[in-house]
Structure 1
Amino acid sequence: MKDRYVVIDELKHKQTVKELCGYLGVHRSGYYAYLKRKEKDPDQELKRKIKAIYEQRDKTVGYRRIQDELYRQYHLVVNHKKVLRLMQELRIKAIIRRKYVHRTTYEAAVSDGRVAENLLKRNFKADKPNQKWVTDVTQYRVFDEKIYLSAIKDLWNNEIVGYHISRCNDNPLVLETFRKAFETHKEGLSIILCKLF
């Protein structure tokens, strides 16, 4: 009902109050009672607009943003201190959303259990072939394309025991590298599996 009185108040210079009340199905006495209440609180209309903006913005705006929106939406120039005071009277304030904490790829991998235990512990010497293999993926740019080289090195003699090139840096790239290494070093496969399991 209150919203209908607001509409009448905004349109009363275009049509008579009697006609507007008839269109909206309200009594003129109710409208005039609304005007009296409004006179008691001269900021009632401004409060209504502040609350509307606050709701529009999911309750995340403070008085400065509301001040900007009052000008942008209603062309009202209102002092920021007044906006703050009216917000305090309405008991509304910006709800601070919980800040998203960005995790690095490594941190995410650790938390998801995708990072294996560090078995080498920076001991990069091997006593015999196929005892310790290490792998890495390197990106290269060839003209306008990126290609990825995955290689496996035996720490015993620093020999590359397997490699594979792909346009995609993904699991198949690494798995294909291991397949090729195992194909050429079949005797090494059983030794590595024994070490891992």
Structure 2
Amino acid sequence: MRSRFQFVDDYRNTYEVKRLCQVLDVNRSSYYKWLTGADARAARQREDRILAEEIREVHGESGGAYGSPRVTAELHEKGRRVNKKRVARIMRTLGLHPRPGS
């Protein structure tokens, strides 16, 4: 699903931002705040890609047995500071699940 703010950004050269925001029922100030956070989102996405590779590695080393709590613990042992909810989210997007009965 694409963000309404992304839609406004995609069509801002064709239509007025004010009108797009009215039609999509979003505040212009919220759109501009979203726009200023683009660099931070891009950095987060890059970091998530790097973390995803580390998660794949740990999950693979376990033979697919580890879920997010154990993957998080392994990453902590390797010196990586990461939240278990973030690991769980990335594992879900990658389709990684613990092997049943492990």
Q: 1:86 aligns with which of 69, 85, 90?
A: 90
1:53 aligned residue: 58
Shift of 1:96: 1.2
Q: Which runs of 5+ in 2 are unaligned?
A: 1-41
Is the helix fraction higher in 1 or 2? 2
1:44 aligned residue: 49
Measure the CA separation in 2 of the matches of 1:82 and 1:40: 11
Q: 2:70 aligns with which of 65, 68, 77?
A: 65
Give matches, 1:148-163, under 5 Å: none
Alignment-mate amino acid for residue 84 of structure 1: A
CA-based RMSD of the aligned residues comes to: 2.0
Instruction: Work out which of the two has the higher radius of gyration on C-alpha atoms and give 1 or 2.
Output: 1
Measure the CA separation in 2 of the matches of 1:78 and 1:40: 13
TM-score, normalised to structure 2, is 0.54
2:30 aligned residue: none
Is the strand fraction higher in 1 or 2? 1
The count of aligned residue pairs is: 60
Measure the CA separation in 2 of the matches of 1:65 and 1:84: 10
Shift of 1:87: 0.1
2:18 aligned residue: none
TM-score, normalised to structure 1, is 0.29
Query: Where does structure 1 differ by over 3 angstroms across 4 or more consecutive aligned residues?
Result: none
Alignment-mate amino acid for residue 55 of structure 1: G
Q: Which has the higher contact order (CA 8 A, sep 6+)?
A: 2
